[in-house]
Amino acid sequence: MAQVSDKPKFVTREEVKMPPLKELTSMRDKIAPGHRLCTGCVAGTILRQMFMAAEAADYTLIIANATGCVEVCTSIYPYTSWKVPWIHNAFENAAATITGVEAAYKALKKKGMLPSDKKVKFVALAGDGGTYDIGFQSLSGAFERNHDFIYVCYDNEAYMNTGIQRSSATPRHASTTTQPAGKVIPGKPQPKKWMPEIAVAHGIPYVAQLAPSNFNDFFKKFTKALNTEGPSYLNIFCTCPRGWRAKEEEGILISKLAVETNYWPLFEVENGSWKINYKPKERKSVVEFLKKQGRFKHMFKSGNEHLIEELQQDVDKRWERLLKLEQL
């Protein structure tokens, strides 16, 4: 395990040098084409963005992937999409698994048995179900033990792999297969669990929220996580056209709207200090974000105006809290 150091030194955003896009896009993909992710699935985009940042910083990612869309779509035996070391153990234990790998790295390094002395970073990769819900205990334990790893949650706000069931990351009033919008109950009654603040409560050095529509910010945050000693938690917005009943070509647009409406604020927390990285000049109504997605369709029926209001309140409340946290 990593020694608990006082305060890890962060690279500043200014210090992160992003190579020209042309150079980034000409890098050899670490995720091979031919995987079975749905058309328009943004998880694939997120993976490529991660690998670009890792490659630019000369890191090889060693990944433990929780059960979920990415896992099943990229590893159908006898094929694999992964050009980096990758392990799938089960649904609820990506964090425990990757910390075992990290412990093995330290042990074998001591014994002089490492096959390579190149820079590596350990990554646990999971969806919101594998993070907010079933993987929560394993994740919390791994943070507390202060292992040197990045936890990446691609948050598409429901159990998409098993068929769009609600998770604790599903927003209020969204329609899912286990909480469908009906005549009596209009979708999920509870608001979305706010995972980033729970991660921060562990006292880990770096927590950030990212969106694939804001690649520059994404690149900087992933690079910072790479350079952080100890645990980092990255909460990444991930459009799911199938589960959200959105247009396949609008994944990045929806991500952009999530940011512009403050539905998905971009912020980072270094050693407990909060910083909002993007404050929209003119915050758009959450309606702009909702109307692109079939999961919120019932909220636009006449008589359901209060549903939209309630979700707008959830968004505003969170933003206000963020502003307060930033002042701390």
| Chain residues in the site for other proteins (CB under 8 A) | 1, 60, 62, 64, 71-72, 75-78, 80, 82-90, 92-93, 95-108, 110-111, 113-116, 118, 120, 137-138, 140-141, 144-145
Nearer to other proteins, 1 or 323 (CB): 1
The structure tokens 């006898």 sit at 78
Q: How far is the CB of 205 from other proteins (least distance, A)?
A: 20
Distance of CA 252 to the CA centre of its chain: 15
Distances (CA, A) of 37 to 70, 173, 254: 7, 27, 18
Q: How far is the CB of 77 from other proteins (least distance, A)?
A: 4
The encoded tokens of residue 291 equal 């109307």
Q: How far is the CB of 84 from other proteins (least distance, A)?
A: 5
Nearer to other proteins, 152 or 257 (CB): 152
Tell me the three state secondary structure of residue 287.
helix
Q: How far is the CB of 18 from other proteins (least distance, A)?
A: 24
Q: How far is the CB of 37 from other proteins (least distance, A)?
A: 13
Q: Are residues 175 and 169 in contact, defined by beta-carbon separation less than 8 angstroms?
A: no
Nearer to other proteins, 115 or 303 (CB): 115
Q: Residue 275 pairs with which residues in a beta bridge?
A: 268
Nearer to other proteins, 98 or 246 (CB): 98
Q: Are residues 46 and 52 in contact, defined by beta-carbon separation less than 8 angstroms?
A: no
Nearer to other proteins, 35 or 318 (CB): 35
* Rounded (5°) CA angle 57-280-193: 75
Alpha carbon distance 207, 320 (integer Å)? 19
